[in-house]
Chains A and B, each alone.
Chain A
């Protein structure tokens, strides 16, 4: 057995993380560009907007997280909240 502290794992190397993210950004870019090349069927009037799904996905998730974060102020209690009776 070798010392686990010395063992380098895949994402211990920051280069690998940035490679992964780089590839991810490229795919995002290509998907957005494809929107202008491929002809989409339209079911909902908002879909006419170029890049509608990309924008919707991004905005939806940012809103989701920011609202959830605000909800914490209202909803979050200590872990033993229900165990304490008074």
Chain B
């Protein structure tokens, strides 16, 4: 139908244009067909090793470079786009429809980019297109969160561009291959990837903005941005040791916030950082098993995290909020959504036969194989914690717990269809992992289902659940409360604006003071001059400039006259 070196983002950008000028069922059909046709094309027509280059000025840009790594993310993003589009079919909002098509296209553009400039272009497009999915909520909170999100994302892009330019100057090459932490360019690009990956202290754009997005927008957001960053890290920085430590911190700290957070979509945002942490660890370890684990976990995470965001999106759509404190008992009126949410929760918790299990275990195994004993214990702690906050908390407080008395309707059909496909994929990949393993970029023999592994994982999870039951029965479990929890964002949301306001106020004050000081001084001068003996003289009256000029002219004139007469 079309050539195999056609960059996969093009169908999405064309579709975005068509979406702009169509409406109703035709628009829906175009949106659904784009990822289906594009995905089939990628699966059947595009093999590893295809590149398409484009010469611009003296530089060779590569908008299309396929290998097993980029193809895996290519398949993934088509699946994710399809799920999110079906989930959002009832949305009648041109802004969101166009933005989501462009956003999915930008993600595909980024993973098939063969050079850093092309990568930069799509990196920025990801930011600019996705922010509309936040702003489309059309609340003041969403508007402000969107601006903060954009500042982070654009900064990341600027760092990437700066790194790329330094690299060109030093090596003459634009190619996006292994980068490593050598020199300024390596660090700049690392930081750029790190912001998009939500490294600790650079992570709040995610927990700030995703929960403010529209119910359907959050599903798109959860799929693309952070996974593009994981892809970029896996290509540019495999085996970079610092990533193992960064990743471990990312798995551990968000679970504390997730336990006390009330907004269940923000809980999911924190658990997303936790899951990305496992991937970052895998990239940092850098063995074939670990890298496969990292990208396989990215693959699974997009689907199960998408499913969880869809379930919470359906609740938000029907009930109007996702606060743990206000929900409860929704299983009575949304039983299908509840069941599908439990499938997503089981997958993220890595229950055997669900998708998280077959990929997270690769990273865990690689961690212990490389002798990172303490870090492995930390990851085990984080695994138990995931189950606690995402696996139990999300479904429990939304659908069970105390009956909030809310009686609503089941989610719309298209949402149920999207969630069902995602749930089916979670179970399929979890029980038949060989199909996913066959797609992984590196060659490894790995099989997750041995007796030790299954037993230990079940023990870990069941006794974590036992802890939840026990804490609840003892009344020790912290209640869900309307609140805000301070995080690193506090720095730029409280003291920095306060300092800016203070600086503004002091500057204004200083200006006013100077004004009044100079006015008082002049007044004093005027007054003392008035008291001078000469002040009675008519030349000293107010506005003396004119009369002074006149008198000077008279004097000069007289001088001239005298001069002429003397000749």
Contact = CB atoms under 8 A, between A and B. Distances in A.
B245 interface: no
A66 B476 contact: yes
Interface residues of B, number: 57
B461 interface: yes
A36 to B, nearest CB: 11
A69 B260 contact: yes
B478 A44 contact: no
A50 B451 CA distance: 16
Interface in B464-484: 464-471, 476-478, 481-484
B497 A54 contact: no
B260 A72 contact: yes
A40 B455 contact: yes
Contact of A21 (B365, B369, B469): B469
A32 B459 contact: yes
A38 B455 CA distance: 9
A53 B460 contact: yes
12 contacts: A21-B469, A24-B469, A28-B463, A38-B452, A54-B463, A57-B461, A61-B463, A65-B388, A66-B476, A68-B259, A76-B481, A79-B484
B84 to A, nearest CB: 29
Contact of A31 (B141, B458, B469, B484): B458
Contacts of A19: none
B376 interface: yes
Interface stretch (B164-172, B194-202, B377-385): B377-385
B388 to A, nearest CB: 5
**9 closest Cβ contacts across the A-B interface?**
A61-B467, A57-B463, A68-B259, A53-B459, A57-B460, A43-B368, A54-B463, A58-B463, A57-B464
Contacts of B451: 38
A41 B380 CA distance: 16
Contacts of A34: 455
A49 interface: no
B459 A31 contact: yes
Contact of B483 (A40, A51, A53, A79): A79
Q: In terms of DSSP, what is the predominant structure of the interface of chain B?
A: helix
Contacts of B484: 76-79, 81-82
Nearest to B453: A41
A81 B489 CA distance: 13
Nearest to B401: A11
B385 A24 contact: no
Interface in B311-345: 331-332
A27 B381 CA distance: 22
A77 B469 contact: no
A83 B212 CA distance: 14
A47 B461 CA distance: 16
B260 A75 contact: yes
B384 A56 contact: yes
B456 interface: yes
A82 B493 contact: yes
B385 A60 contact: yes
B542 interface: no
Contacts of B369: 43
Contacts of A71: 256, 260, 485
Given A24-B462, A43-B368, A61-B385, 14 more contacts: A4-B407, A7-B332, A38-B451, A40-B452, A43-B369, A43-B376, A44-B377, A56-B463, A57-B459, A60-B381, A75-B260, A75-B485, A77-B484, A82-B493
